[in-house]
């Protein structure tokens, strides 16, 4: 081709290229994050008001009637498909975007705890209820009230941009995360039995937990195991009853139990490799006897095991059985050991974690998204994570400038959350959804 012909052809190609750019720009997807930011700002007062209502009116596991009613009414007002009575008191809302695409799930837990609140708040809980036959105070001593309020806020924000969403969002409001009452089913396992992950089929699930010892504005995460498996063990020691003044004529199950408790503590400190993963064995309850001068026939103890590795979990289970049985045998007693698997490891899928971290860094700022070490606390979100790739993170709820060691721990009467951190929870969820759906 002649030089001038080639030059003229290239000129026309360039002109054509520039001419079509505006046409593509007109049909480009609108920038939703700035809109989501404005919506998050606007909804913050409502999120705080919801949280205060839930905090003042906490409900125990499988009894979250007021909470579920308020959540369902809100989701219906947004035009979502709403399912109630899921796993007894759970609520599921389904938001279908204007375009086809992936299905993502967002989960919040709803239940309070049998704890009497000591924090002096205008919306302090004075609720009383019955827990396993005993009258108790009820408090949101773990922050589930904030989780519900945050997810209600996310539902409202995303519902206002739904025509631009390329996919579906499933909002899961879960009862009984702290465990159902004795003799009842509940929580994540029952929700899964009732198909919460299957209709529509969720391909990625996100959850968060407020943390009273993480500063407001921060998000903490970890790939892999972030929270431990929780198992409960029950040990019954059978001795021989005798008069308290003549212990040699019997076999004292209380003394044997004390020796077993001492032995159990050496499992973690001396018998497993703690450089691989942390582990905990705790005896939380022991019962025996009726009066001072009678050596009883039996003693019973209950405890918890926390592990982040399945091989170590099996190893510790075996060692608990051996320790209890052999110590009892050495004293002429017997020990029966029963171990229940309560919750699995809460596992963050590494690929999904890598995919959503940029969203969190954009929502909170690079320096505020911090990798953390695993926790020995447990979460039944782990059941969901066994079935679908999941990501679970911690949201700061501690007032700025406060030291973590001075902040009250979860599950205590003095537990406190700084509400200024809730908006970041809404924003983080929204950013993860928008990015995952390819907006």
**Which residues are designated catalytic?**
111, 177
d(CA 122, CA 315): 49
User: In sequence order, what E strands does 197-345 have?
Assistant: 204-215, 219-221, 224-227, 229-238, 242-243, 279-288, 294-295, 298-307, 334-343
Q: How many CB atoms lie within 10 A of CB 405?
A: 7
- Which whole-number Å values give the CA distances from 235 to 325, 435, 438, in the listed order? 9, 49, 52
d(CA 419, CA 17): 51
**Sequence-ordered list of residues with C-beta below 8 angstroms from that of 341, at least 6 positions apart, any chain:** 229, 231
Closest CA to 263 of 316, 199, 207, 186: 316
d(CA 329, CA 352): 50
d(CA 178, CA 112): 8
d(CA 400, CA 72): 34
């Amino acid at each position: 081709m002649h030089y001038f012909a080639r030059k003229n052809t290239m000129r026309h190609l360039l002109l054509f290229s520039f001419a079509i750019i505006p046409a593509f720009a007109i049909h480009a997807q609108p920038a939703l994050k700035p809109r989501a930011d404005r919506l998050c700002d606007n909804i913050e007062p409502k999120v705080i008001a919801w949280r205060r209502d839930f905090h003042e009116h906490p409900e125990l596991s499988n009894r979250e009637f007021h909470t579920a009613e308020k959540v369902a009414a809100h989701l219906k007002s947004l035009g979502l498909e709403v399912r109630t009575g899921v796993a007894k008191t759970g609520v599921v809302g389904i938001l279908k975007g204007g375009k086809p695409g992936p299905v993502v799930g967002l989960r919040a837990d709803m239940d309070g705890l049998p704890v009497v609140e000591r924090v002096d708040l205008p919306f302090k809980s004075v609720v009383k209820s019955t827990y396993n036959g005993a009258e108790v105070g009820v408090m949101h001593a773990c922050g589930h009230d904030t989780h519900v309020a945050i997810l209600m806020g996310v539902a409202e924000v995303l519902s206002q941009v739904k025509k631009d969403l390329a996919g579906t969002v499933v909002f899961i409001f879960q009862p009984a995360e702290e465990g159902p009452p004795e003799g009842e089913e509940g929580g994540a396992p029952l929700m899964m039995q009732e198909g919460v992950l299957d209709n529509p089929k969720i391909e990625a699930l996100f959850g968060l937990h407020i943390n009273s010892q993480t500063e407001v504005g921060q998000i903490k995460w970890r790939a892999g195991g972030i929270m431990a498996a929780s198992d409960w063990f029950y040990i019954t020691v059978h001795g021989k009853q005798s008069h308290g003044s003549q212990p040699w004529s019997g076999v004292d199950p209380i003394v044997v139990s004390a020796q077993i408790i001492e032995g159990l503590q050496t499992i973690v400190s001396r018998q497993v490799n703690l450089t691989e993963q942390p582990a905990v064995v705790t005896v939380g309850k022991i019962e025996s006897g009726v009066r001072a001068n009678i050596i009883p026939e039996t003693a019973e103890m209950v405890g918890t095991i926390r592990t982040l590795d399945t091989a170590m979990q099996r190893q510790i289970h075996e060692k608990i059985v051996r320790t209890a049985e052999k110590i009892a045998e050495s004293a002429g007693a017997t020990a029966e050991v029963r171990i229940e698997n309560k919750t699995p490891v809460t596992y963050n899928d590494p690929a999904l974690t890598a995919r959503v971290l940029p969203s969190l860094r954009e929502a909170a700022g690079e320096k505020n998204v911090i990798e953390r070490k695993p926790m020995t606390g447990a979460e039944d979100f782990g059941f969901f994570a066994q079935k679908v790739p999941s990501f679970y993170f911690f949201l700061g709820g501690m007032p700025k400038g406060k030291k973590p060691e001075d902040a009250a721990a979860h599950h205590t009467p003095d537990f406190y959350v700084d509400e200024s951190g809730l908006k970041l929870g809404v924003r983080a969820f929204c950013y993860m959804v928008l990015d995952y759906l390819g907006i």
